[in-house]
Structure 1
Amino acid sequence: MSDWFTINNIEQVDTPALAVYPDRIKENIRILKTFVPDVTRLRPHMKTNKSPEVAKMLISEGITQFKCATIAEAEMLADAGAKDILLAYQPVGPKAERLAELTAKFPNTIFACLVDTIATARHISNVFEKHASTIKVYIDLNVGMNRTGITPAAALALYKELLSLPGIVAYGLHAYDGHLRDVDFAVRTQKCNEAFAAVENLRQQIIQQTGNSPAVVAGGTPTFPIHSKRKDVACSPGTYIYWDTGYKGILQEQPFLFAALVVTRVISIPAENTICIDLGHKAIASENPLTNRVTFLNAPDLQPIGHSEEHMILKTPAGSNYQVGDVLYGVPYHVCPTVALHDRAAVVINHEVQQYWTTRARNRMITV
């Protein structure tokens, strides 16, 4: 009996290739809904898959709200039928104009974006006022990751300033805590709750001082099960859809399945106990240490010892008998940027590649 990942018509698949498995994607969506059964509180992040086909699978499951990181991802989502899209990015410079053009192109879709400074908020307001339109904005809160955002303690004043800008609607709060990756779920939960306390305090201040009750979007894959327990908080996992070895090793309470692999071939045997495959930097995310960038499901003993643009060098166990042309099926350590390296994905159904999905939102621009 074949392993779940093997491709029977592999001779038709050029490598390196990204392969996706729809049955396992469907199962991951099912698992997601066991954590957050109220789909109105799900706002999945699409930065992992960048795929209109995956977007349509989620929509068919009743999920209508989405999050994304780029305007191309937002356009892909709108074109796939998404009705509510949060651009989880502050649109600086020309991005504000592109976002305004996108909202005009899809008038039946609700769009929103992030802000963390009044200067950018004014710029966005001016752009949308010029277009005779408005855009919902969420304040991007820095809850400890120190990547973007404003501290919750400083955000009340910003929220009040937003209320006076004609081209925007002060709508919500966004709190991404991607730095919380403790293996111990109890420790992760404690840290998450401590960080979120400032967000809840800010929300109460806004309610008391303005009468508005801001929407809240919080967390990513590591913390969404924690935020799912909160009332009126939308959860935004992303990596769950394809899964990878990085999160599998950390998030042991989450039983998601590997649903996207890199498929590669042995292209040379340059020395004893050494093989070269066609899985270079251009085919798999390479920001992590060489030894854990990929795990081969059908050859777990292979050890990466070298990596360049088009090649990966592997040490083989003594006595192994690899041949040029042998196929390896690898799980990325970090699947999100790996997907972005592939313009299409081979769709594997019943061990056969039956079609290809375009990774449409890997482009910086689609039409807008």
Structure 2
Amino acid sequence: MNFRKAISIPFDTPFMVIDKEQVARNISKMQSLANQGNKDLRPHIKTHKIPELAEMQLASGAKGICVQKVAEAEVMFRGSIRDIFLTNEIFGTKFNRLATLLTQGAEITVAIDNSTSVKQFSDACRFFGVQGHVIIDVNIGMNRCGIDSGDFMKLLFKTMNTPGIVLDGIMAYDGHVNYPEPEKRMMEVKREEKVLQPLIDEFKRKGIVDPVISVGGTPTAEFWAASPEVTEIQPGTYIYYDLHCMQMGLCNLDDIAIGVVSMITSEKMGERLVLDAGYKSVSIDQGVYPSVFDENGSEYKVISMSEEHTVLKSTDSRTHLGEKFIMLPYHACTTTDLWDTTYAISEERDFETIAIKARGKRE
């Protein structure tokens, strides 16, 4: 992130800013990783929620995108994105909304972990006269969504024999594998491979010779990219990176492409400085404060945060009133969803305004 250029944007604070040059570099880096492993890249847009950035990812070589919500899929489709994988379980009438997108030319795949949802998606597709695609979501240790491996065969048989839908493969998300030590992440991926292998073998015995095996996030992408049976990886945070990624050694400070610019509006000289942005502007996911820098790259310690304030430790006795600082988030994805728009800096222009069109799309 170019701190000086971001801070120089002449608008009222606080505001979100991204560095498009760094975004492009981050996109290229992950695409190269996927290419080297002969894997498809299907980035998750929940990090940025911006159709324009999804187009950048596709132009760089991504096969399609992942979304977490039906409403996100609708926004991305209106933004000309066609190949969309809904990686979250849904229920009920939301399947009708997916089927409606299929009638309009979208290519929709949905993750499913129970037979009731299989039937609901089948009913919706047959009612609208379309064919949907399904991937079975398998729990490999996160213990959130996903069917346990012991129940896999029953759901596999049910899905293969249900009209109106096509079974494509397996999804296995491991968002819990976020250890700072890369060796621990690698060993966990090795364990997860052993869980998946017999399930992949069952697909092949059933005649699905080349099933889609869609896995991973930014922390484990490099290891899954080297896994022989995997066909695609679905990282998301890499487009911006954040302090959590830096903590895991996935990026350097310069690679972080998202920040929030804030201004000192109160101070006690020699003791504290108060910014006009708090955790309504920068997510403090898991209770971790952002890192705060001035335009020269000097870091200021965060003492406390509240809804609309961040208190910094003052390092000198001069006034800082009116000075702008940039706050780098611990979690990029949850920070993005706090904003309707972001400013974007680039070499081509001082800044531009971009709407975060899928922001707040939770249904």
Distance in 1, matches of 2:3 and 2:299, equals: 18
Identify the match of residue 221 of structure 1 among 218, 238, 256. Answer: 218
Q: Is the contact between residue 346 and residue 353 of structure 1 (CA under 8 Å) also seen in structure 2?
A: no
Change beyond 3 A, Cα 1:254–1:273: closer
TM-score (norm 2): 0.91
Change beyond 3 A, Cα 1:226–1:11: closer
TM-score (norm 1): 0.90
Cα-to-partner distance string for 1:82-117 (whole Å, 9 max, x where unaligned): 332101011213321222222223x1x311011101
Q: Is the contact between residue 22 and residue 256 of structure 2 (CA under 8 Å) also seen in structure 1?
A: yes
Distance in 1, matches of 2:126 and 2:346, equals: 48
Q: Which residue of 1 aligns with 2:73?
A: 74
Q: Secondary structure at the match of 2:143?
A: coil
Identify the match of residue 186 of structure 2 among 176, 185, 189. Answer: 189
Counterpart code for 1:154:
D
Q: Which residue of 1 aligns with 2:326?
A: 329
Change beyond 3 A, Cα 1:195–1:213: same
The Cα RMSD (Å) is: 2.4
1:134 aligns to 2:131 (yes or no)? yes
Identify the match of residue 169 of structure 1 among 166, 169, 173. Answer: 166
Q: Which residue of 1 aligns with 2:30?
A: 32
Identify the match of residue 11 of structure 2 among 10, 13, 25. Answer: 13
Change beyond 3 A, Cα 1:285–1:197: same
Counterpart code for 2:135:
Y
Distance in 2, matches of 1:215 and 1:327, equals: 48
Q: Is the contact between residue 9 and residue 352 of structure 1 (CA under 8 Å) also seen in structure 2?
A: no
Q: Which residue of 2 aligns with 1:125?
A: 122
Distance in 2, matches of 1:14 and 1:199, equals: 51
Equivalent positions of 1:191-270 (< 5 A) are 191-231=188-228, 232-252=230-250, 257-269=255-267
Q: Is the contact between residue 84 and residue 108 of structure 2 (CA under 8 Å) also seen in structure 1?
A: yes
Distance in 2, matches of 1:9 and 1:16, equals: 10
Counterpart code for 1:10:
S
Counterpart code for 1:282:
K
> Is there any run of 5+ residues in structure 2 with no aligned partner, and where?
none
Distance in 2, matches of 1:8 and 1:191, equals: 38
My pick for the range that moved more, 113-122 or 34-43, is 34-43
Distance in 1, matches of 2:226 and 2:252, equals: 15
Q: Is the contact between residue 273 and residue 316 of structure 1 (CA under 8 Å) also seen in structure 2?
A: yes
Distance in 1, matches of 2:134 and 2:107, equals: 11
Identify the match of residue 297 of structure 1 among 281, 293, 307. Answer: 293
My pick for the range that moved more, 119-128 or 298-307, is 298-307
1:52 aligns to 2:65 (yes or no)? no
Q: Is the contact between residue 277 and residue 308 of structure 2 (CA under 8 Å) also seen in structure 1?
A: yes
Cα-to-partner distance string for 1:42-69 (whole Å, 9 max, x where unaligned): 1111110111121121122132321111
- How many matched pairs? 359
Superposed displacement of residue 265, structure 1: 0.7
1:98 aligns to 2:97 (yes or no)? yes
My pick for the range that moved more, 203-212 or 252-261, is 252-261
Counterpart code for 2:153:
L
Distance in 1, matches of 2:6 and 2:330, equals: 25
